[in-house]
Structure 1
């Protein structure tokens, strides 16, 4: 983010073409794809650049993503917008499901139930969001995600149902 002398603020960011690595989705497990993003072997999806998410870590059934609150995340009240927090929660919960899927199997979020418990601000420091699979069947999965600040206070939490499906053979 850049601030000029007249007080205007601007933000510029770029992203990689998501189609560039789409062919890997059916050839690698979900965990392999997420870990490749974590190490920088593959670029993160464009939404991570949009919200400025970082430091993804993935293990089977658990994914953690971090976000440093910035002014561009703020709502008119001067706190991180609920949509940004919801995006972070959806990412961690859904990716935790993705981390359990074999190659050739995909998923999509079916719902996201969010509870906001306290405001997040720049002063609260880095937000850590961890998603965990609670239950996974053949066609659906249930996951939860929790956002905490640097003091360990719970900012928001969510549950998410995901639909699991076979990917078309390319």
Structure 2
């Protein structure tokens, strides 16, 4: 879009140093770290600000994240971009695994398989994405995430495998 076309909308975001979270890996369990973020005792990671997640609920083995769909989430088709939906699903599934890990142990996603079931728009209302651990071993974990709209309809589903490892120097 050029300057001569219709007026652009804008958005400004702020975030804190993400090293604050990394420094906690050796001192807090995943559940303690995620609970502190959910309670506002630790700042949210930058990605939460970038896509404007509006909250998180944490229990051992399950994490729920929320998002109010906005215009800035849209793709050229006028629906929420699949990358935004995938980010929420990945966050809920992987953080569910994180919630089961002791201090000094980290994880990373190995894969994410997403099924988009309904289009998501501003009219969908608040999205609720709940991740759950299906199985956790010493080296890998399997988790799923389910995204529902404000009417409780399933709009997307994902499964994710995560690799579990000791954090060097933790």
Greater CA deviation, 20-29 or 57-66?
Answer: 20-29
Which residue does the alignment assign to 1:161? 161
Large movers: runs of 4+ above 2 Å: none
Q: By how many angstroms is 1:25 displaced?
A: 1.1
Which residue does the alignment assign to 1:25? 25
Which residue does the alignment assign to 1:136? 136
CA distance in 1, matches of 2:110, 2:20: 26
CA distance in 1, matches of 2:43, 2:57: 14
CA distance in 2, matches of 1:21, 1:113: 27
CA distance in 2, matches of 1:70, 1:84: 11
Provide the secondary structure at the position in 2 that maps to 1:44: coil
CA distance in 1, matches of 2:72, 2:125: 15
CA distance in 1, matches of 2:31, 2:124: 31
Which residue does the alignment assign to 1:149? 149
Provide the secondary structure at the position in 1 that maps to 2:106: strand
List runs of 5+ in structure 1 lacking aligned partners: 1-5
Cα displacement string for residues 50-94 of structure 1 (whole angstroms, at most 9, x for unaligned residues): 110121111000000000000000001110000000000000000
Alignment TM-score, normalising by the size of structure 2: 0.95
Q: By how many angstroms is 1:124 displaced?
A: 1.0
Alignment TM-score, normalising by the size of structure 1: 0.95
Which residue does the alignment assign to 1:11? 11
Provide the secondary structure at the position in 2 that maps to 1:24: coil
CA distance in 2, matches of 1:60, 1:46: 23
